[in-house]
Chains A and B, each alone.
Chain A
Amino acid sequence: MNGIHDMGGMQGMGPIRYEPNEPVFHAPWEGRSLALNLAAAAWRKWNIDAGRHQIELIAPADYLRMSYYEKWTQRLEDLLVKTGLVTQAEIESGKPAPGSTKATPPLTADKVPSMLRSGGPASRNVPGPSRFKVGQRVRARNINPTGHTRLPRYARGKTGTIHLDHGAYVFPDTNAHFLGEKPQHVYSVRFTAQELWGEQASPRDAVYVDMWDDYLEHA
């Protein structure tokens, strides 16, 4: 979706606010929010792409106003309700509905190290040759999906060169909507800064964007 999250190339957002010796968390609730997100995801009711998309669904003004972990908290509440793990009434009251049964958490403290160590690899085996070869010219398709996509607006319709073939990965555009993994090759595509931003850009610079096969066409 052409949402506020797709920020590449926007202007007017102000200076970068650098904080020397920044702590990992600025308040205890930030850590709790992160941990709740990771622990609740262990129910496997959603995947990483659905989780990212849920943040994109936060209304633009709220998205800009909220801090990172406020967005994570909002996203978690939304996913919990959407997937039926909790009800909206439970979120509002902070109490389990009367008569609801108590579950057993899938992620216990002893499982945390192995869960983090194994992560969630998104690479998949896809037989057959890839459609594009390193060095080939490609164009990012001019598409405007209303759902989740990882094709940034600033690259759409632009021509670049295949820099690397990373192998095949889960396709977020379908996976985020529980429509299957549709694994396909991901390429690092090199776009010159001038192709993206015009003649005033530095002739030496380039942006490398990782792109799934479905985002690309022959140029």
Chain B
Amino acid sequence: MDATRRGFLMAAGGTAANELAQSQEHDHGHQDVPSDPTLRVKALESLLVEKGLVDPAALDALIDTYQHKVGPRNGAQVVARAWVDPVYKKRLLADATNAIAELGYGGRQGEHMVAVENTPQVHNLVVCTLCSCYPWSVLGLPPVWYKSAPYRSRAVIDPRGVLREFGLDLPPETEVRVWDSTAELRYLVLPERPAGTANLSEEQLAALVTRDSMVGVGKVKL
């Protein structure tokens, strides 16, 4: 770590763990000069292409898929459908994999889905304490915070504290259910439909649904 960066971190203050988290964040934010990982990955790619182990066009197609085609808009469609169609909602909560497949979503990291419903009495929160398991098929690739040590460590022991950091202060009478994705089941939170949305179309409802609400760290707001 150079002096400037150390200065940045010290100025930001906090514990060693904070410093660590910030240094990771920092690495993510600034990539205007070729950094070590850029060169390293480039070297690895050219080696694998030269050896005929990977097809560069396949790499482009994979990146394009996760950058442009698969993301939280998929999950938002599922949520909106469940809000407007009680029979669909029932199917979703009973067999999420097949209900989600009805809308055309599934496959990699969404092979085995479970949907859990938020109600005024129950709030669900999804984490993977062991790595970064996340329902790619409906939410896309996970954000950095979901994969970070602070979230993974604390979501199970202090879910209410974690939710407060996301601006969600739950009353003590609400039951918090944390789902640790330790196996191949992937969890989608069905958030509460906000009040005052009775006249909105399914499409308008889907536009309200956020990624965070489907992980359980936020609520859907009008």
Chain B residues with CB under 8 Å of A96's CB are 47, 50-51
Closest approach, in angstroms, between the C-beta of A201 and any C-beta of chain B?
Answer: 8
Interface residues of A in 109-165 (CB under 8 A from B): 109, 111-113, 115-123, 150-152, 154
Chain A residues with CB under 8 Å of B176's CB are 193, 202, 204-206
Q: How far, in angstroms, from A210 to B153 measured CA to CA in the complex? A: 17
User: B168 near A: Cβ within 8 Å?
Assistant: no
Interface size class of A (residues with CB under 8 A): 35 or more
With A11-B157, A197-B157: A39-B183 Cβ-Cβ less than 8 Å: no
Interface size on B, residues (CB 8 A): 93
Q: How far, in angstroms, from A85 to B52 measured CA to CA in the complex? A: 11
Within 8 Å by CB of A67, from B27, B41, B71, B110, lies: B27
Interface residues of B in 39-81 (CB under 8 A from A): 40-48, 50-55, 57-63, 65-67, 70-71
Q: How far, in angstroms, from A102 to B49 measured CA to CA in the complex? A: 9
Chain A residues with CB under 8 Å of B42's CB are 29, 32
Interface residues of A in 66-92 (CB under 8 A from B): 67-70, 73, 76-77, 80, 85-86, 90-91
User: A199 near B: Cβ within 8 Å?
Assistant: no
Chain B residues with CB under 8 Å of A113's CB are 61, 65
Closest approach, in angstroms, between the C-beta of A214 and any C-beta of chain B?
Answer: 12
A36 touches B165 (CB 8 A): no
A36 touches B44 (CB 8 A): yes
Chain A residues with CB under 8 Å of B159's CB are 205
Q: Which 8 A-B pairs have the closest CB atoms?
A: A8-B129, A210-B183, A27-B31, A109-B57, A103-B52, A35-B59, A94-B43, A10-B153
Residues of B within 8 A of A (CB): 14-15, 17-18, 20-25, 27-29, 31, 35, 37-38, 40-48, 50-55, 57-63, 65-67, 70-71, 106-112, 114, 127, 129-132, 137, 140-141, 143-145, 147-157, 159-160, 162, 165-166, 172-185
Q: A35-B58, A102-B52 are in contact. List 19 more A-B contacts (CB 8 A).
A: A6-B130, A7-B130, A13-B21, A17-B22, A19-B28, A19-B143, A27-B38, A29-B35, A29-B41, A38-B62, A64-B149, A94-B43, A94-B44, A116-B70, A150-B130, A152-B180, A204-B173, A204-B174, A204-B175
